[in-house]
Structure 1
Amino acid sequence: MERIYYDSKTGNVERFMQKVTDLTGWTAQQIHPDMEVKHEGHLVTYTTRFGEVPETTKNFLQYASSYLLSVSSSGNRNWGRNFAMAGEKIANEYGIPLALKFELSGTNEDVNEFIAIIKARNYGNKRRGKELDFAQ
């Protein structure tokens, strides 16, 4: 059973996570400042401003990054090269594999691709380098 930690501001990531949990039964927890992280999982976040990582996600990463097996991010393709850039920035700064970048709340194809990527990885060896890098 996979665990997903997510950050959502406008509801797009939350809707994406609802689709994922409806299909898989995985556990999804929205991050908040006083949450305690005790289990490994995957992070899904959004991109804010001009390709930036949200402050709430940055704060979460300060105490939970060692528990994260992958990161995925939402964005808007209208931002060009800054599309879903938060995931790339987190991957680079924390060495967490980038799993998927998707637009807004994701299409059904995005949801199925995310599920397939997460299911296909062997997480017995924590932080297995960049081999999870399937991001588009």
Structure 2
Amino acid sequence: MEWIYYDSKTGNVERFMQKVAELTGWSVCKIQPDMDAVQEGHLVTFTTRFGEVPETTKRFLHHASPYLLSVSSSGNRNWGQNFAIAGDKIATEYGIPLALKFELSGTNEDINEFIAIIKARRHHGNKRGSKELDFAQ
């Protein structure tokens, strides 16, 4: 059983996570103010403004980062270099492997790829810090 913590403002990440949960039965938990991670898991967030990590995600990371095994982020390709860059920033600052970057609420292919990436981490025994997950482009 996987745990996924997610942050969503406009509903894009929430729609992505609902589809993942429907297909896998994994536990998905929307980040709330002052929330801590209760299990090791993965983070999925969005990119806000002109390439920033959301404040709610930053607050969650402050205490939860040691429990996070990967980060994925949503964005809009209209922002060019800043597309889903929140994931890159979190990966760099916290040393959490970047798993996937997807546009808006993702496609079916994005959802299947996310599931495969998370499953592969378990099957190959990857631990946090492994560069094996860092193939998001």
Q: TM-score, normalization: structure 2?
A: 0.95
Any unmatched runs of 5+ in structure 2? none
1:133 aligns with 2:113: no
Higher helix share: 2
Give the aligned CA root-mean-square deviation in angstroms.
1.2
1:38 Cα deviation after fit: 2.1
Between Structure 1 and Structure 2, how many residues are aligned? Answer: 136
Deviations 1:59-96 (A, max 9, x none): 00000000000000000000000000000000000000
1:130 Cα deviation after fit: 1.7
Identity rate of aligned residues, in percent?
A: 81
Stretch moving more, 36-45 or 95-104: 36-45
Match of 1:26 in 2: 26
4+ residue runs of structure 1 moved beyond 4 angstroms? none
Helix, strand or coil for the counterpart of 1:110?
helix
Helix, strand or coil for the counterpart of 1:71?
strand
Match of 1:36 in 2: 36
1:124 Cα deviation after fit: 4.8
C-alpha distance in 1 between matches for 2:50 and 2:38 = 32
Q: TM-score, normalization: structure 1?
A: 0.96
Helix, strand or coil for the counterpart of 1:52?
coil
Helix, strand or coil for the counterpart of 2:133?
coil
C-alpha distance in 2 between matches for 1:105 and 1:125 = 27
C-alpha distance in 1 between matches for 2:44 and 2:136 = 13
Match of 1:93 in 2: 93
Helix, strand or coil for the counterpart of 2:50?
coil
Match of 1:68 in 2: 68
